[in-house]
Amino acid sequence: VIDLGDRYLVVASDPITFTAKGIGFYLVTINANDIAVMGARPQYLIVTLLLPENLTDAELVNKIFDSIASASRSLEVSVIGGHTEITYGIDRPIAIGTMLGFAPKGRLITSSNAKVGDVILLTKGIAIEGTSIIAKEKSEELERIFGKELVEKAAKFTAEPGISVVREALIASETGCVHAMHDPTEGGLATALFELATASDVGLLISLEDIPIYRETREFCRYFHIDPLGLLASGALLIVVPPECAESVESAVLSNGIPVRRIGEIKPKDFGLKMLKDGKLADLPVYHRDELTKIL
What are the pLDDT digits (tens) for 11-30? Answer: 999 998 877 778 999 999 99
Helix (H), strand (E) counts: the chain: 9, 12
* 257 within some domain: yes
Domain count, the chain: 2
* 110 within some domain: no
* Sequence-ordered list of residues with C-beta below 8 angstroms from that of 58, at least 6 positions apart, any chain: none
Please answer whether residues 83 and 48 qualify as being in contact, where contact means their C-beta atoms are separated by less than 8 angstroms: yes
DSSP-derived letter for residue 64 is H
Q: Which helix (H) or strand (E) holds 74?
A: helix 58-74
Question: CB atoms < 10 A from the CB of 71, how many?
Answer: 22
Q: Are residues 223 and 96 in the same domain?
A: no
Closest by CA to 189, choosing from 243, 143, 124, is: 124
Is the preceding peptide bond at 161 cis, omega within 30 degrees of 0?
yes
Please provide residue 34's backbone torsions phi and psi, each rounded to the nearest 5 degrees: -60, -35
CA atoms within 13 A on the CB side of 163: 31
Question: CB atoms < 10 A from the CB of 97, how many?
Answer: 27
**Domain with 15 in it: what CATH number?**
3.30.1330.10
Which tens digit of pLDDT belongs to each residue from 111-164?
999 999 999 999 999 999 999 999 999 999 999 999 999 999 999 999 999 999
Alpha carbon distances (Å) from 177 to 20, 261, 264: 38, 16, 17
Separation of alpha carbons 287 and 229, rounded Å: 9
More confident residue, 81 or 107: 81
Question: CB atoms < 10 A from the CB of 120, how many?
Answer: 25
Decide the pairing of beta strands 94-104 and 78-87: unpaired
Q: Are residues 196 and 125 in the same domain?
A: yes
Which domain range does residue 11 map to?
A: 2-104
Single-letter code of the amino acid located at 75: L
Separation of alpha carbons 276 and 174, rounded Å: 31
Single-letter code of the amino acid located at 220: F
**Domain with 147 in it: what CATH number?**
3.90.650.10
Q: Are residues 40 and 187 in the same domain?
A: no
* Sequence-ordered list of residues with C-beta below 8 angstroms from that of 189, at least 6 positions apart, any chain: 122, 126, 127, 211, 228, 229, 233, 236, 238
State residue 296's pLDDT score. Answer: 85
Q: Are residues 155 and 288 in the same domain?
A: yes
Separation of alpha carbons 96 and 87, rounded Å: 14
Which tens digit of pLDDT belongs to each residue from 188-240?
999 999 999 999 999 999 999 999 999 999 999 999 999 999 999 999 999 99
State residue 20's pLDDT score. Answer: 76
